[in-house]
Structure 1
Amino acid sequence: MGHGPRSSAKQAQLYERWGEKRDLERVKEAVKRDLHIHKIAAFPSDFLVGKRSGERVRQVVRTKFHGTCLPEQMKTLPTQGKILLPLDHLPPDTVPSEMPPYLMARLEHFLTDAQQAGLLSRWNKLIATDPKHLLKHDANRSNSEGYHFGLWEVTASTPRITRESRDQSDDAKEAIDNLLRFLKSYIANKIGTAFEELAPDQWKAMLKANARVMDLLAREHSARPSLFMGGPFFAVAAKEAGSGVTHIDWNDDKAVYAFIFAVGDWEGGEFCVPQLGIKIPVRPGQVLCVLARVLAHFSAPTGTFFGMETQKLLNWRSTTQVV
């Protein structure tokens, strides 16, 4: 069903902005005005190889990036507008070949007020069921515990439903499914569209990984379809507040984005990247796309924090030559 005719007030507003007919040049100018391109000096390869250690990450940051390891030392990128950190200006031999075109991106107007409210309501209902934390708390990432719902392949050779999705009370599992069903219905497709636009080759790999998951977990999908997002991401990390400890997401794929946003009664936070000497404000409705396996980072959002992750589900791609 289409929309009805615009009101006279709306027509006047559009005329004032674009003219009687949409002027493509004015549209392009508006897009350019709302777009910030931040070009980095060199590819941050500090943690692509070597020991996977939180202490090592913090030691490297304290020594090599001592001038940009604190938020007050970092350059603040614009609060509003789309932000892109491209890689195409760097010497090709310094950028790993499997990397997507952008190291990071922040997208505007991604979640509506209604979608944020819907997520927060379902989160609060989930917390009211007292779901169990079943993973060992990782003090190398955060001072507060989070949940991991959906699918992953950490410490295994085949994908599986996360324990925190599976080993809960019936009330908690119903609330988890309700939360993930909302994400799947209203947000997953948006993330998929953004993913394909930012990183088309990696998006193709995600779709092939999803086909593998659907083949291996057909029975689980039939029983709990809300846990399966259709490709844009496989696991959802959810918690109160952010991850205030500088860390690397070791279990993510280094060439695939994590998508991060927060909801709740908050004014926003900052995603801090010592290697790049920048902090990116994240406000309600925005979403951050980041190679969290490449960039050491910490954040301080004050709302309920959601991260969409791959959690090693692309480890098999090197043998199947997906990308």
Structure 2
Amino acid sequence: MLATNFRFPAAALDANRSTTGAAHLGVWSHYCSEPVVTRDARSQTTGGRQSEETIDAINQFLAVVKEYIVPMILSAMRMEEPETLSARQYVRASIRKLYSREQFLETRCCLDFNGAFLCVAVKEGSSEILHLDWQDDPNAFAWIIPVGKGWTGGDFCAPQLGLRVPILPGQVVGALTRRLIHASSVVTSGRRIVLTCFSDRGTLKKADQWEEKVLDRELRLDL
């Protein structure tokens, strides 16, 4: 994916976390009344940042995420936060009902993460500035997965708990990133890509409204 001139957003958009930017691939509704595909996951012809070649690579990358990472997160959620998983499945169902077959969850099924989360943040290096993820749901875990090999640094740091935790390639760490101040130590050598899988709180809150819209549409069709 990175080899296709993948376009990251400007670092200034993520300046409270790091000196480098992160791309967000998936669905959210930060400032919209309905869920939208993030700009980083859309082509330039549909108002996004990426070339068509890069979109194909993103789809392949997210297919790998669905095959290998989503099952691990779903398993952890069933054990650690079953109520959150149930709520996520409701949100997923509401989003799927809201859109026709011609729209994104059918034409780009790689953007549907089976209710485990709604979006993946992709970043090279680390988020070395202490921060809270204000847009995350305060009662649900975000899931952090570093990939690559041969790097040093990049430990997960949570000063409130006095923790500094090394994360090995392919390991999955869950944290309440809206409540827990956190950062990663600087990557001092090698190449490290970190994936953070999350659901923004705005999208989770709006699911009931979308359910009402779906019912209203169905009622008008019946009439």
Shorter chain as normaliser: what TM range?
0.7 to 0.9
Is structure 2 residue 37 aligned with structure 1 residue 161?
yes
Residues 173-212 of structure 1 aligned to structure 2 (within 5 Å): 173-212=55-94
Instruction: String of CA shifts for 1:157-205, please: whole Å, max 9, x gaps.
Output: 2211001101221001001001001111222122111112100111111
Matches within 5 A, 1:90-129: 126-129=1-4
Pair 1:286–1:301, CA change in 2 (3 A): farther
Q: Which one of the candidate residues 182, 186, 199 is aligned to 1:297?
A: 182
Aligned length in residues: 195
- Distance in 1 (CA, whole Å) between partners of 2:90 and 2:186 is 33
- What's 1:131 paired with? 6
Q: Deviations over 1:222-255 (max 9, x none)?
A: 2111111110011000111110001110111001
Change (3 A) 1:267 1:244: closer
Residue 216 of structure 1: how far off its partner (Å) = 1.9
Once the two structures are TM-superposed, the CA of residue 131 in structure 1 deviates from its matched residue by: 2.1
Superimposed CA distance per residue, residues 5-56 of structure 1 (whole angstroms, 9 cap, x where no aligned partner): xxxxxxxxxxxxxxxxxxxxxxxxxxxxxxxxxxxxxxxxxxxxxxxxxxxx
Structure-2 separation of matches of 1:131 and 1:295: 31
Matched, 1:271 2:161: no
Indicate if the aligned counterparts of 2:140 and 2:176 stay in contact, CA closer than 8 A. yes
Q: Does 1:213 align with 2:98?
A: no
How many angstroms apart in 2 are the aligned matches of 1:215 and 1:190? 26
Where does residue 141 of structure 2 map in the other structure? 257
The secondary structure found in structure 1 opposite 2:179 is coil
Change (3 A) 1:241 1:216: same
245-254 vs 292-301, greater mean Cα deviation: 292-301
Indicate the percent of aligned positions where both proteins have the same amino acid.
34
**1:228 corresponds to which letter in structure 2?**
D
4+ residue runs over 6 A deviation:
317-320
Partner of 1:310: 199
- Aligned-partner residue type, residue 258 of structure 1: A
Q: 5+ unaligned residues in a row in structure 1: which ranges? A: 1-125
- Alignment RMSD (CA, Å): 2.0
Distance 1:161 1:291 in 2: 24
Change (3 A) 1:133 1:268: closer
| Contact 1:263/1:304 (8 A) holds in 2 | yes
Call closer, same or farther: CA 1:276–1:318 in 2, change over 3 Å: farther
Shift of residue 267, structure 1, vs aligned partner:
5.2
Alignment TM-score, normalising by the size of structure 2 = 0.81
Deviation at 1:281, TM superposition (A): 2.1
Structure 2 residue matching 1:187: 3-state secondary structure: helix
Summarize the Cα distance change of 1:319–1:160 in structure 2 as closer, same or farther, 3 Å threshold: closer
SS, match of residue 13 in structure 2: coil
Matches within 5 A, 1:46-61: none
1:317, distance to aligned residue in structure 2 (A) = 6.2
Q: Displacement, 1:309?
A: 0.9
Distance in 2 (alpha carbons) for counterparts of 1:270 and 1:284: 11
8 A contact 1:152–1:311 mirrored in 2: yes
Displacement of 1:318: 8.3
Residue 294 of structure 1, CA deviation: 0.6
**Cα pair 1:268 1:284 within 8 Å, conserved:** no
Report the 3-state secondary structure (helix = DSSP H, G, I; strand = E; otherwise coil) of the residue aligned with 1:261. Answer: strand
Does the Cα contact within 8 Å between 1:252 and 1:293 map onto a contact in 2?
yes
Say which one has the larger Rg.
1
The CA distance in 2 between the partners of 1:138 and 1:286, in whole Å, is 24
Normalising by structure 1, we get a TM-score of 0.57
Residue 8 of structure 2 aligns with an amino acid whose one-letter code is: H
Cross-structure match for 1:145: 21
